[in-house]
Amino acid sequence: MKKSIISIILCTLIIVQNICIFSNDIEEELDGKTVEEIIQTVSDIKETPKINSRAAIVLERNSKRILYGKNENDKRPMASTTKIITSLLVIEKGNFDDTVTVSKKAAGTGGSRLGLKTNDKITVKNLLYGLMLISGNDAAVALAEYIAGDVASFANLMNEKAKEIGLKNTHYVTPHGLDSEEHYTTAYELAILTDYALKNQTFANIVKTQNYTITINGYSKSLNNTNELLGYLDGVYGVKTGFTNGAGRCLVTATKRGDLDIICVVLGADTKKDRTQDSIKLIEYTFENYKMENLKKIIQDEFDKWQRTNKISVYKGVKENIDVILDEINIPLYPMRIDEKIEVNITANYNYEAPVNIGTIIGKLTVTLNKDNIYEFNIKAKETVRRKMIKDYFNQIIGSYCDILSNYCYRIIVLDKKIPKP
């Protein structure tokens, strides 16, 4: 009897442990509310919102400026948002038309599933849609084995890619994101990764898809995207949900309205409603309080104004003043709060002794926002001004004499003046 009880307890513990390990993107309800109802309760947010999520960030894609941050550099588990890099690697290294035979290991992967069985036949393209739309962990392992032979080798590729992108606080051990102590990232680096991935048009097309029909062994299966904001919140065009017991509820959202294009990441929300509400709050706060400014025009206008009122003098040069140019301004439109103000400051050395070579740095133009320098440009000599030589002084004297003679002749001929006697 005692052995039976112990066996039952052990089996129960194993089942509970498997549920805890494999609970990944298994959807829950929004506490009786629809996304539309949550959207209606979140509007006109002037003040920085309070959120439930343990870490979050809003990153503007063009400038990479952080518009909101909460523990954005803390290392945290990220659940199925891991699949962003998994899918990117497959897109870069795989062939969409290849057919994959599903292994026993892939078919046995728990959590959110595409529903693959051992020896199923499915194309890489269909596996990718199953990976990103309904977060199939079985699809993740099948793709990892297709690309690298096994999960460990694929994880090495993931880490190499992370290093290539410049992610320093990110480490992967699985292609799906089920909880593991050595599997982590930060909200900031997840946003940077997402921005990088979205530049791949194939990836962007997949993650903005709401519904898609795939075939497994020739049989059709309809998929609906687990991203609750896609198709409901204005401007949302991706990208990925996530959940494990260790990571909590996670959501990465890309949203564009007008010229403002952002990535919002929330990690470690307690419930699906919290991650949905937090994401909507942060997105609406951003679009309510930020606008895109033409920083390039502001900088150029200030430089032109400075040029009109300032001269760079050259002593002993063949020219008395030197023309200057500004470094090329490769700045896209820049996000600014409605109450923020850009300051442009110019410092320069106004006096030089010849020679002055082309490209000589004459000064600096600094762009400041909230007392922080955000951009700096060199002001440089547009041409070379050489030092005067003896012949230049001689030519200058001759030139001056010719000017005097010319003026004298003008007075005689045009003004009908008589030449005074010496």
Quick: pLDDT tens for 90-124: 999 999 999 999 999 999 999 999 999 999 999 99
Q: Which residues contact 403 (CB under 8 A, 6 or more apart)?
A: none
Q: Which of 23, 53, 80, 87 is catalytic?
A: 80
Q: What's the pLDDT tens digit per position in 356-403? A: 999 999 999 999 998 889 999 999 999 998 887 765 555 556 656 666
Which of 52-61, 80-89, 167-176, 336-345 bottoms out in mean pLDDT, i.e. has the lowest?
A: 336-345
Active site residue 80: yes
Which residues is 342 bridged to in the sheet? 369
6-292 architecture in CATH? 3-Layer(aba) Sandwich (3.40)
Whether the Cβ atoms of residue 375 and residue 337 lie closer than 8 Å to each other: no
Q: Which of 125, 135, 240, 272 is catalytic?
A: 135
pLDDT score at 357 = 94
CA distance 302 to 209: 45
Active site residue 43: no
Count the alpha carbons within 13 Å of 420 in the hemisphere toward its beta carbon: 3
Q: List the domain boundaries for the chain.
A: 6-292, 295-381, 393-422
Tokens standing for 167? 């992610």
Q: What's the pLDDT tens digit per position in 283-339? A: 999 999 999 999 999 999 999 999 999 999 998 878 889 999 999 998 879 999 988
Quick check: 405 pLDDT over 90? no
Q: Decide whether 6-292 matches 295-381 in CATH topology.
A: no
Active site residue 83: yes
Q: Which residues contact 399 (CB under 8 A, 6 or more apart)?
A: none
State the fold for domain 295-381: Peptidoglycan synthesis regulatory factor (PBP3), Domain 2 (2.60.410)
CA distance 132 to 273: 21
DSSP letter, residue 158: H
Q: Which of 70, 83, 240, 272 is catalytic?
A: 83
CA distance 385 to 314: 8
Q: What are phi and psi of 109, to 5 degrees?
A: -75, 130
pLDDT score at 421 = 47
Q: What's the pLDDT tens digit per position in 203-226? A: 999 999 999 999 999 999 999 999
